[in-house]
Amino acid sequence: MKITFYGQNTLALKIGDINIIVDPFITGNDLAKDKVDINKLKADYILLTHAHQDHILDAEAIAKNTGAMIVSNFEIAGHYEEMGFEVHPMNHGGSWDFEFGNLKYVNAVHTSSFPDGKYGGQPGGFVLEGEHKNIYIAGDTALTYDMKLIPMRTKLDLAVLPIGDNFTMGIEDAIVASDFIECDKILGCHYDTFGYIEIDHEEAKRKFYEKNKDLMLLDIGESIEL
């Protein structure tokens, strides 16, 4: 599994021959828009954790370019289905066997509405169980005790957690979250994009290191492999 970070909460996952884009927000991100051409992105699936603009902005364009299936909660999927896109609706606690692995939609504590104010359903995260590796993409969330349920079913190899504070968990809560999910390898997201969520990178890494955990903060366009 190859994971590429495109800023904010945007990820590209390559699992075998399958390409997945998570929460595409690139053209509106000053840190990413000049580094990433959305017209060159490959996608068979687009996963959306919730309906806020900084998670869905480029979903329509990428889906038009690629024919990707949009996977999200029932309300978001219905929104895109009305626009003519292929979708797969989910809801909390449900899972589905896709060609890339089993995907489960799990709880997140946040809000969810489209930029025009339309209801975007309840926010969530995804637990992806691949053939060889399992990852948790938390989406935008506060620290929640529900995270303790994840390792009861799935042993994680990596967790993607928001760390920017103000709108989501900050560093300290993300460290506790990593304890709850029993995963010490963390890819940070949802930081630096706006003034409210700028972080000190070295301090963040140090705090995780002091708890015997590995926090990865990737440059835009940088990849890791599991």
Identify the structural domains of the chain with CATH numbers, from first to last. 2-217 (3.60.15.10)
Q: How far apart are CA 85 and CA 204, in angstroms?
A: 39
Cα separation of 70 and 22, whole Å?
Answer: 10
Q: Is the pLDDT of residue 131 over 90?
A: no
C-beta separation of 171 from 207 below 8 A: yes
Angle at the Cα of 80 from the Cα atoms of 139 and 192, rounded to 5 degrees: 30
- Angle between helix 201-210 and helix 171-180 axes, rounded to 10 deg: 40
Residue 212 clears pLDDT 90, i.e. is over it: yes
pLDDT per residue as tens digits for the range 175-190: 999 999 999 999 999 9
Query: What local confidence, expressed as pLDDT, does residue 198 receive?
Result: 98
Judge whether 5 and 222 are in contact, CB under 8 Å: yes
pLDDT in tens, 28-79: 999 999 999 999 999 999 999 999 999 999 999 999 999 999 999 999 999 9
Residue 205 to residue 187: CA distance in whole angstroms: 11
Compute the radius of gyration of the chain from its Cα atoms. 16
pLDDT, tens only, 152-169: 999 999 999 999 999 999
User: Residue 149: what pLDDT?
Assistant: 98
Sorting pLDDT into bands at 50, 70 and 90, what band is 145? very high
Helix (H, G, I), strand (E, B) or coil at 178: helix
Bridge-partner residues for 134, per DSSP? 129
Mean pLDDT, the chain, rounded, equals 98
d(CA 144, CA 133): 24
- Enter the DSSP assignment of 193: S
Check whether 90 has a pLDDT greater than 90: yes
